Amino acid sequence: SKRLKNLQICRPFVFGNMAVPLKEDRSPDIPTDHTHSWTVFLKGVNGDDLSSFVKRVVFKLHETYANSTRSIEEPPFEVTETGWGEFEISIRVYFVPEASEKNVVMYHHLKLHPYGPEAEQQKTNGATVTSMQYDEFVFNEPTESLFEILTKK
């Protein structure tokens, strides 16, 4: 559809991961060398639903994982796994066809281990570790259809 000139529309999001150390009562299905359970995610800010304009999010994990390319077609756009190591995850976002927008890719370093001033305490408590970033999708001269999707209540 037609593009709206001289217009820019932005939508905020956050992406990153949470991780917790596995406990003694871990499931026997989890490989013994795994130390953490983690979730990598991409989501709207303040519970905003991105699925009106995000069609699919593809998370590319380390090749030590079976089926390391994980395609998520509906919210929550996230992958939960267990493992032992940190690595870089690519997060590729595909927009709905009406948007006529190229996909965008972000990189996230999966964080499992606390560091910094509170690290020792967090380790003793088995606390959840979080690492996330705020960003914005910026649509320049959006199609009329994308504009409608983003502005309807």
Quick count: other Cβ atoms within 10 Å of Cβ 125?
Answer: 11
Minimum distance from CB of 32 to ligand SLL (Å)? 11
Beta strand spans in 22-112 (E): 36-44, 54-60, 69-72, 77-83, 88-95, 104-109
Residue with tokens 């690595």: 87
Residue 69 touching ligand SLL (CB under 6 A): no
For residue 142, cis peptide bond before it (omega within 30 degrees of 0): no
Residue 62 touching ligand SLL (CB under 6 A): yes
Residue 64 touching ligand SLL (CB under 6 A): yes
Cα gap 77→57, rounded to integer Å: 6
Residue 113 touching ligand SLL (CB under 6 A): no
Residue 65 touching ligand SLL (CB under 6 A): yes
Work out which of 80, 84, 121, 136 binds ligand SLL, going by CB under 6 A. Answer: 84
Residue 87 touching ligand SLL (CB under 6 A): yes
Q: Which of residues 122-151 bind ligand SLL (CB under 6 A)?
A: none
Q: What angle do CA 97, 102, 103 make, to 5 degrees?
A: 95
Residue 11 touching ligand SLL (CB under 6 A): no
Residue count at the site for ligand SLL (CB under 6 A)? Answer: 9
Nearer to ligand SLL, 68 or 100 (CB): 68
Residue 85 touching ligand SLL (CB under 6 A): yes
Instruction: Give the CB-side neighbour count of residue 44, counting CA atoms within 13 A.
Output: 15
Nearest to 106, CA basis, from 12, 56, 42: 42
- Site residues for ligand SLL per CB under 6 A: 31, 62, 64-65, 83-87
